A and B are shown apart, each in its own frame.
Chain A
């Protein structure tokens, strides 16, 4: 059975599919790999564990290394061919067991976290350095592991939404929509155009505040108060707009399984468009100012480079992948949203460094603001999902969050959640951050980290 699994994955990869996630299910009795087809559809390949062992996929898909390590820690599985299988979620272990051995003349370690110097989430970074030069970075996250996936098991499908939403405030809409789509996929529901439009508005509102916040964070990463303050002010205005439209600054509670209760009147929609137009002008002017600020602009090029080949191999997603030249975006292939004709934006010089990731935020902001201007041309009314597609025991949702594609898989028994898997854009990109840091200077790490601006909360869950 498990040999068929490996052969099926190899065959799919050979014809252009990509492995975009892997999770253990049925209490560790099976492992399911998620395969993304070039047309954007996701399918699952299942392997039954034999004496707790499953063939590893890391040789064909390094992107699922974290998934396998997580399944090993939480479900006690072993992955044949994944050597050494270092712990990921398990803490309280000897340093030697979870770090990569780095030896040589003058090599030493710099330990940072889990508590950081600023207002930052908790996580531990162990830099292996010579002088100020980073040779290797081991990131140990999961300090905020709350066991949300397991806690959702046994809950009614509608209640399970809270576990996806509260995994992360910065990705609340993305995670909720991925969950809602997974549930609707499993129960044979599809969103009509009105529902797709309401949800697309929410998803883009989340991207707007998030990208504004990211630009502010990159400025803070080099200590440019003028830039970080300007974009922090815009972030605040975006949160106020969120509240005006949905009643919550982070859009909490605005997504439901099977429909939408969001009401935005014509006057509110028109006011929101005017505010968004003003964001566009402000952000454009702010970004132009940054480009011509030499002491700022000098810090960005050639720092934290991720080549297109590495981005592909490591499974980078979202702005980080596009800044490396991979013109991929779940919005381009997703029929459940209102993204007809969407073309992913990529910087002209997709150099994969901090500069490209900053430019990428600017490009995407402009796209999102233009999309919202179209989508808010009329009022939003409550609406419900309609029958469409075959019901089944497993549903899949994939949504482009501000930090990349988020995959949600819901396995169900009737109306209850059997297994919830939430693989967020941040989860996919954390190994890429560690890779991008190598070869750079320790003092540049905050800047590199901010140029990805990943969440710890939705990686840890």
Chain B
């Protein structure tokens, strides 16, 4: 009976998101470089009860000094370029950058050229691109899993 329950639980988890190596984890720092707030709302729910990033070993940390991954949302505005670079510079190595959402990837950008620097890859080396406007919480979780597996 106990074995059956354990197998069921394992099955349920493996169906939701591909399972990463359990021995590893990622500390994530989010920087909003000029988003519409959609990616932030989905990221919040990715850490919420339905997706629960924490169970895969992913947590949002308060400081870039504690982070393995910089998760950047939005087109980089001229005003956020400096703070974004400062956050990246504060991270310990090895560090990875995820560009999250259509704006961060430079798709269908709206706004004045004089106010925008451009997509994240114009400012930082991007390791993983997550499309979507905004990306769904499961896409965010899957991206972190992929990066975690890749890092090994």
Question: Is the pair B87, A142 in contact by a Cβ cutoff of 8 Å?
Answer: no
Asked whether any CB of chain B lies closer than 8 Å to the CB of A117, the reply is yes
Given the known inter-chain contacts A115-B87, A143-B83, A169-B41, please indicate yes or no for A232 contacting B110, CB distance below 8 A: no
Given the known inter-chain contacts A145-B77, A232-B48, A457-B35, please indicate yes or no for A249 contacting B83, CB distance below 8 A: no
Interface residues of A in 138-170 (CB under 8 A from B): 142-148, 150-151, 162-163, 166-170
Given the known inter-chain contacts A232-B48, A250-B134, please indicate yes or no for A147 contacting B36, CB distance below 8 A: no
Given the known inter-chain contacts A91-B79, A115-B87, please indicate yes or no for A144 contacting B40, CB distance below 8 A: no
Q: How far is the CA of A121 from the CA of B33 in the complex (A)?
A: 8
Asked whether any CB of chain A lies closer than 8 Å to the CB of B14, the reply is no
- The smallest beta-carbon distance between B114 and chain A, in angstroms, is 7
- Chain A residues contacting B60 (CB-CB under 8 Å) are 118-119
Question: Is the pair B110, A120 in contact by a Cβ cutoff of 8 Å?
Answer: no
Interface of chain A, main secondary structure: loop
- Chain A residues contacting B137 (CB-CB under 8 Å) are 236
- The smallest beta-carbon distance between B106 and chain A, in angstroms, is 13
Provide the B67-81 mask, 1 if CB < 8 A to any CB of A, else 0.
000000011010110
- The smallest beta-carbon distance between A288 and chain B, in angstroms, is 20
Asked whether any CB of chain A lies closer than 8 Å to the CB of B142, the reply is no
Please indicate which of the listed interface residues B30, B49, B74 has the most CB atoms of chain A within 10 Å of its own CB.
Answer: B49
Question: Is the pair B115, A147 in contact by a Cβ cutoff of 8 Å?
Answer: yes
Asked whether any CB of chain A lies closer than 8 Å to the CB of B11, the reply is no
Given the known inter-chain contacts A122-B32, A169-B134, please indicate yes or no for A229 contacting B49, CB distance below 8 A: yes
**Which of the residues A146, A162, A458 comes within 8 Å of B116, measured between beta carbons?**
A146
Closest to A122 in B: B32
Given the known inter-chain contacts A144-B35, A148-B110, please indicate yes or no for A236 contacting B50, CB distance below 8 A: yes
**Which of the residues B36, B112, B115 comes within 8 Å of A457, measured between beta carbons?**
B36
Closest to A123 in B: B32
Closest to B62 in A: A117
- Chain B residues contacting A142 (CB-CB under 8 Å) are 79
Question: Is the pair A236, B111 in contact by a Cβ cutoff of 8 Å?
Answer: no
**Which of the residues B40, B50, B110 comes within 8 Å of A121, measured between beta carbons?**
B40
Question: Is the pair A169, B36 in contact by a Cβ cutoff of 8 Å?
Answer: yes
**Which of the residues B45, B74, B112, B114 comes within 8 Å of A235, measured between beta carbons?**
B45
Closest to B109 in A: A146
Count of A-B contacts judged by CB separation below 8 Å: 115
**Which of the residues B40, B47, B63, B80 comes within 8 Å of A117, measured between beta carbons?**
B63
- Chain B residues contacting A172 (CB-CB under 8 Å) are 36, 38
- Chain A residues contacting B49 (CB-CB under 8 Å) are 229, 232-233, 236
Asked whether any CB of chain B lies closer than 8 Å to the CB of A79, the reply is no
Asked whether any CB of chain A lies closer than 8 Å to the CB of B147, the reply is no
- The smallest beta-carbon distance between A455 and chain B, in angstroms, is 5
Asked whether any CB of chain B lies closer than 8 Å to the CB of A114, the reply is yes
Interface residues of B in 13-55 (CB under 8 A from A): 30-45, 47-50
Question: Is the pair B41, A233 in contact by a Cβ cutoff of 8 Å?
Answer: no
**Which of the residues B77, B87, B112, B133 comes within 8 Å of A143, measured between beta carbons?**
B77
Interface residues of A (CB under 8 A from B): 91, 114-115, 117-122, 142-148, 150-151, 162-163, 166-170, 172, 213, 229, 232-233, 235-236, 239, 249-250, 252, 455-458
Instruction: Give the 4 A-B CB pairs with smallest separation, nearest first.
Output: A169-B38, A147-B112, A146-B111, A117-B62
CB<8 Å pairs between A and B, sample of 24 = A91-B79, A114-B83, A119-B40, A119-B43, A121-B35, A122-B31, A142-B79, A143-B34, A143-B77, A144-B35, A144-B74, A145-B79, A145-B115, A146-B111, A146-B112, A147-B111, A167-B36, A168-B36, A169-B39, A170-B38, A232-B45, A236-B45, A250-B38, A456-B32
